[in-house]
Structure 1
């Protein structure tokens, strides 16, 4: 089988990262107060557009858009249909994903995140060999929604 090149499709960049949450107001507060994102707006959506895009009949969600340094996070709390589920993969499970955030004080964000229900998944690790930046400190945080954030503190230059 011959695979077609995607170079001609001209991907220009990432528009946003969307994360399904169980309590949108709690998560908005976390993303603003701990991570420093700005709330750009909220809405409740449903109807033909999200149904057509997702293929889920009856989908409704509360949606919030937050930004920081040109990056956009979409938090959405599905409210319908009733048969939705919570997905809590481990980092090794196929289909899992995480969002990596570059931070200046990893320990402070870990401490502040505890009050919001986020926990360290393993322990703080230090990059000792490539391909990552040698000396960088890394940690995975996770919450009850199944969301995984990686905090990356680069070494001082």
Structure 2
């Protein structure tokens, strides 16, 4: 199948960025529970982030993490003062989530709780396609409004 010319311009994903209220706390969760490796931190502000985002006075602490070819940028906005916390539900337009495949969903839920991550609904099991039948799924969320999905694929017979 051939891609339309405009789609050939996109070469791949660079990173997923998530705004957090406490960078230090979230770094602990992403490293200790999710197994990401910290590749660098910085405080950014000034003309470049202001020009890119269109937010005058934007200043943030950022951290870059990687795992299995996936890069996540966690950033804690420090300025401007009029920033808000966005806590959408999965049904709200503009909401998003990042999904991870896990070996033991129950253990992941248990080890995430001390970091402030809670089960959003309940663990669900895929009973028919198009998803993998027998897969166990769970949405976890934290006080910042971030939603992560965890998927435990069925064991092959």
TM-score range, shorter chain: over 0.9
Q: Secondary structure at the match of 1:115?
A: helix
CA-to-aligned-CA distance 1:86-136 (integer Å, 9 cap, x gap): 000000000000000111111101001000000000000000111111111
Partner residue, 1:77? 76
Map 1:14-25; keep pairs closer than 5 Å: 14-25=13-24
Distance 1:152 1:22 in 2: 26
Q: Measure how far apart 1:13 and its partner are.
A: 1.3
Find the counterpart in structure 1 of residue 133 from structure 2: 134
Q: CA deviation at 1:5?
A: 6.2
Normalising to structure 2: TM-score of the pair? 0.95
1:156 corresponds to? 155
C-alpha separation between the residues in 2 aligned to 1:127 and 1:6?
35
Matches for 1:55-94 after TM superposition, within 5 Å: 55-94=54-93
Q: Could you tell me how far apart the structure 2 residues matched to 1:134 and 1:12 are?
A: 32
TM-score normalised according to structure 1 size: 0.95
How many Å separate the matches in 1 of 2:145 and 2:116?
A: 11
Q: Deviations over 1:53-101 (max 9, x none)?
A: 0000000000000000010010000000000000000000000000001
